[in-house]
Amino acid sequence: MKWMEDELAKLTDASLERRLRESAAVPDRPGYVRRGERVLLNLAANDYLGLAQHPAIIEAIREQLFIGGAGSGASRLVTGNRPLNGYLEEELAAWQNSEAALVFANGYMANSSVISALAGRGDVVFSDQFNHASIVDGIVLSRAEHARYRHNDMEHLKALLNKHRDRRRKLIVTDAVFSMDGDRAPLQELALLKREHGAMLMVDEAHSGGIYGVRGQGLCHELGLQNEVDVHMGTFSKAFGVYGAYVCGNRTLIRWLINKARALIYSTALPPSLTAGISTALGLVQTEHWRRKHLILASRQLRSSLSAAGFNVGSGDTPIIPLIVGDNAVALRFSEALEGEGIAAVAIRPPTVPSGTARIRFSLSAAHAEHELVDAALRIRRIGLQLGAVSP
């Protein structure tokens, strides 16, 4: 295994080695995280609505744990399909106003198996260059051709659609909100192109489900595009504060996935306790509107303070705020300095983002109070000045 050590040494030298760090929840303080002895403001989680510690969700999980046991024991196609799954899927379909829904163990498994169930050899999948890794892996698994278009570049997508106009099946897939840039996909234009070219459209609402739309249905609903989207995917591990994922669409799609999505067929169903927790979270997502409102306002506020301080925060308007510094080593030093100032935020480096665009990625939560973010912005600015990442 000498080769491995050599490759790892190269990663370390390039400030690219990833290491596991321990982070613990802080009881009753959902916007914070404990690292070692210190409690840090958590600007590095995806608990957007601050639901991960919600007592009603925890109670639902606890109660079902005693009724349903620790694990579900089998795949949903064998004996793991508890009645709770069916209830949840009915609630999901009603929430999304779709004919049907299907729950998966997590978003990674949903994307990788749904895409490989929708396309195969001889087909083509059109995918934004910044789409999530689980989408990319789904395309690789599908054996279809990967037509990767430049980020949000509809002219490039159009050219690729024209080039592949005679293919058997075409699937366009996009994140609704991009995980590392916090900007939105041009969903309206994607819906037009999909129609024009007879393609299917799949949207991943991992970072927008729960956050946009009057009842948190996501960006497609907010824009009135829900009927244009053939495959609507989202996760329960971010805004919902739990774990798991969903796909909504018509009955035919869901029947197809039950027969073809390998992550559903060949993997054990979610523990019943989690399914119960997700159902409770779905109720809260739909009714506790203040969480969405506060999150959007707080994001706008932090974004504009950082931008006014001279940082490059990209072009988005969502609760994901990138602070682009460019250099890998500067990004690492920045995140270490933030930790020293009581803020947890990760340095994101290649290959997760294109080289030369290393950044600090901030993600906000409805659990953060306005004054905490005002204070954080001052500390971030001070560090930026010290590191020369922003001019005075």
Ligand X SMILES: *Cc1c(COP(=O)(O)O)cnc(C)c1O
- Least Å distance between CB 93 and ligand X? 20
Cα–Cα distance between 195 and 97 in angstroms, integer? 21
Provide the token pair at 130.
Answer: 């910044």
Nearest approach, Cβ of 138 to ligand X (angstroms)? Answer: 10
> Catalytic residue among 170, 194, 197, 207, which?
207
* Residue choice 175, 201, 272, 322 for contact with ligand X (CB under 6 A): 175
CB of 329 to ligand X, least distance (A): 26
> CA 15 to CA 29: how far, in whole Å?
32
The yes or no reply on residue 335 touching ligand X (CB under 6 A) is: no
Q: Which is nearer to ligand X, 134 or 275 (CB)?
A: 134
State in angstroms the smallest separation of the CB of 95 from ligand X.
Answer: 18
Residue in 116, 179, 363, 365 annotated catalytic: 179
Candidates 134, 226, 318, 365; binder of ligand X (CB under 6 A) is 134
389 is a site residue for ligand X (CB under 6 A)? no
In the block, tokens 């694990």 appear at: 71
Let me know if 335 is a catalytic residue: no
In terms of Cα–Cα distance, which of 321, 303, 314, 100 is closest to 207?
321
Does the CA dihedral 7-8-14-19 come out positive or negative? positive
One-letter amino acid of 172: I
- Closest to ligand X by CB, 25 or 385: 25
d(C-alpha 102, C-alpha 78), whole Å: 16
Interface with ligand X (CB under 6 A), residue from 108, 126, 240, 311:
108
Work out how close the CB of 203 gets to ligand X at its nearest, in angstroms, rounded to a whole number: 10
Is residue 238 annotated as a catalytic residue, yes or no?
yes
Give least dist CB 386 to ligand X, A: 31
One-letter amino acid of 63: E
Q: Catalytic: 146?
A: no
Question: What is the footprint of ligand X within residues 181-210 (CB under 6 A)?
Answer: 204, 206-207
- Beta bridge partners of residue 187, listed in sequence order: none
Residue nearest to ligand X (CB): 107
DSSP 227: G
Nearer to ligand X, 125 or 245 (CB): 245
Q: What's the distance, CA 251 to chain centroid? A: 25
The region of 29-37, 54-62, 107-115, 344-352 touching ligand X under the rule CB under 6 A is 107-115
By CB under 6 A, the residues from 222 to 281 that bind ligand X are 235, 237, 245
C-alpha 340/C-alpha 337 separation (Å) is 5
Q: What are the beta bridge partners of residue 320?
A: 363
Query: Given the DSSP bridges, would you call strands 32-35 and 38-42 parallel, antiparallel or unpaired?
Result: antiparallel
**From 194, 238, 294, 368, the catalytic residue:** 238
Q: Cβ–Cβ contacts within 10 Å for residue 267, how many?
A: 17
Interatomic CA distance for residues 185 and 112, integer angstroms: 20
The single-letter code of the amino acid at 65 is: L
Given 15, 106, 268, 301, the residue binding ligand X (CB under 6 A):
106
Task: Based on the shown chain and the rule CB under 6 A, indicate whether residue 107 belongs to the binding site for ligand X.
Answer: yes
Cα separation, 151 vs 252, in Å, equals: 31
Size of the site for ligand X (CB under 6 A): 14
Using alpha carbons only, give the angle 128, 129, 133 rounded to the nearest 5 degrees. 95
Q: Are 120 and 144 in contact (CB under 8 A)?
A: yes
Instruction: Tell me which of 85, 179, 217, 365 binds ligand X, using CB under 6 A.
Output: 179
Residue 108 or 333: the one with the smaller Cβ distance to ligand X is 108
The phi and psi torsions of 170 (rounded to 5 degrees) equal -130, 135
Judged by CB under 6 A, the residue of 54, 76, 82, 132 near ligand X is 132
Catalytic residue ranges: 179, 207, 238
List residues binding ligand X (CB under 6 A). Answer: 106-108, 111, 132, 134, 175, 179, 204, 206-207, 235, 237, 245
